[in-house]
Structure 1
Amino acid sequence: MKRIERHKLKENDFARSVERARETLAERRSEITMTATLVVIVLVLIGGYAWWRTARNARATELLASALAVAEAPVVPPPPPAPGSAPPVQQPGTFRTERDRTDAALPKLMDVANKYPSTEAGITARYRAASSLAEIGRYADAEQNYQAVIDKAGRTSIYGRTARLGLGNVLMAEGKNDPAIATLRDLSTDGESQLPLDGVLMQLGRAYAQAGKKEDASRAFTRVVDEFPQSLYVVEAKEQIATLKKG
């Protein structure tokens, strides 16, 4: 008898628990529904963003590949025409001069850089464009784009560091000696840089020499000789030191 009563009590407790749960669910139905809806929306947004980002990167990479195909196309000067003959036709996919190739590639590289500035493809395109601009003497444009690479890629990334070196070179070409020295000196003290330090020190020495700071220049060149005796720059560094002593 007692066992039956205990069983009924348990059934009653269970029934009351179920009833309380039903009442709570009824009271909070709208809240639960809203929460579930928000979760679904968040998941859809995350999935949509991931899809958009993947699609964007794919488009940027495809566009970069097209630009690089032009930037790296072979330069094949045509042979001189035979007397009385028309000039030979340029081979498809080639360029007569490096300048022709650069002029054709630059708009394509800048198109990628401007459309997809924060993607890896966009950063690569902008770096290549900055280098090309420096090669043809458009230093102000090169400076602007090197700085944009640094801002987008970060100072300590491989592109950030190589862009800083390029920026230092461009600043030297523009005669902006103090900013060039500051940029190159900063690179020379970067212990985690992947750039060859002997090359950075050589350029820093040249910047000091160009600014008329002979002692600083001599110290930079001396570091190349002392710290990198097998460097390809050693001969030039010694010549620079000798020239500075004569001056």
Structure 2
Amino acid sequence: MGRRITRKQMKQDEFVSTMDQLIRRFGGYWKPALAVLCALLVVVFIWWTIGQWSDSREDAASARLAEVITAYQEAVAENGTGDLAEAEAGFAEVIEEYGRTSQGDIARLFQARIELGRGETDTARAALVRLVHRHKDDALGRLASLDLVRLRTASGQGAEVAVELEKMVVGRNTQLPRDVALFELGEVFVAEQKPDQAREYFQKLVDEFPESGYVTQARKRLGELG
């Protein structure tokens, strides 16, 4: 008497048959498939290597930049001037080696400040404008914006700067934080010899932003203005 085949056994037989056909059909393509797999592994390895190299390069850029900034700060600490030649050469080196990184742009910011100190305002202004455009939404862009505000104020553009700072104070322009904009507005009116308006903005900063890093300077200004 023949063996009775159940539905479960039939399904198992169909599965085995199907797998056997697939193996037979694609068995001849194992070499191309292996080549593709190897190519993918090579791509992954290259990507990993580049990532490791980029991380190492970024670490080296940060370390070198920190050394140069320390030299800059030490030079400035010497009666507010000091010999900045070493620091300037260091920033130029960072820009040369890591110019496309954020560290390179930080070096450009400090280089622009050195140029401002020498009175090279046109060169410094151009560098600061580029940094603002390149870093619109980060801290570096805000620092460059702040330097531009002070440069323009010192260049006699206080009235125009005040209009822009007012927009920042009310939140229509986020280029600078509100507390920074308030302090700079006060400074603009000090430069414009308008003590009443300057006092208003310094007081507003103290009242509305008691935790701001500018509060101490604002209080000092209020004391000077009487």
Q: What TM-score do the two structures reach when normalised by structure 2?
A: 0.70
Of 110, 117, 122, the residue aligned with 1:128 is 110
2 CA distance for matches of 1:176 and 1:226?
A: 23
Amino acid corresponding to residue 104 of structure 1 in structure 2:
E
Aligned to 1:160: 141
Alignment map for 1:94-133 (pairs within 5 Å)? 99-133=81-115
Aligned to 2:202: 224
Amino acid corresponding to residue 225 of structure 1 in structure 2:
Q
2 CA distance for matches of 1:159 and 1:38?
A: 41
Alignment map for 1:28-47 (pairs within 5 Å)? 29=30, 32-33=33-34, 35-47=36-48
Q: CA deviation at 1:14?
A: 3.9
Amino acid corresponding to residue 222 of structure 1 in structure 2:
E
2 CA distance for matches of 1:132 and 1:2?
A: 99
Once the two structures are overlaid, the 10-residue window that deviates more, 102-111 or 220-229, is: 220-229
Q: CA deviation at 1:53?
A: 1.0
RMSD across aligned C-alpha pairs, in angstroms?
Answer: 3.8
Aligned to 1:61: 62
2:153–2:188 CA contact under 8 A, matched in 1: no
Change (3 A) 1:56 1:132: same
SS, match of residue 228 in structure 1: helix
Of 164, 170, 190, the residue aligned with 2:151 is 170
1 CA distance for matches of 2:43 and 2:36?
A: 11
Aligned to 1:21: 22
2 CA distance for matches of 1:29 and 1:179?
A: 72
Amino acid corresponding to residue 200 of structure 1 in structure 2:
E
SS, match of residue 146 in structure 1: helix
Aligned to 2:189: 205
Aligned to 1:143: 125
How many matched pairs? 212
Q: CA deviation at 1:54?
A: 1.0
Amino acid corresponding to residue 136 of structure 1 in structure 2:
R
Judging by fraction of residues, say which structure has more helix. 2
Q: What TM-score do the two structures reach when normalised by structure 1?
A: 0.65
Change (3 A) 1:232 1:187: farther
Q: Which aligned runs of 4 or more in structure 1 are off by greater than 6 angstroms?
A: none
2 CA distance for matches of 1:119 and 1:194?
A: 29
2:168–2:178 CA contact under 8 A, matched in 1: no
2 CA distance for matches of 1:33 and 1:117?
A: 41
Aligned to 1:80: none
Amino acid corresponding to residue 114 of structure 2 in structure 1:
S
Q: CA deviation at 1:131?
A: 2.2
Change (3 A) 1:161 1:74: closer
Q: CA deviation at 1:166?
A: 0.6
1 CA distance for matches of 2:139 and 2:178?
A: 7
Unaligned runs of 5+ in 2: 208-217
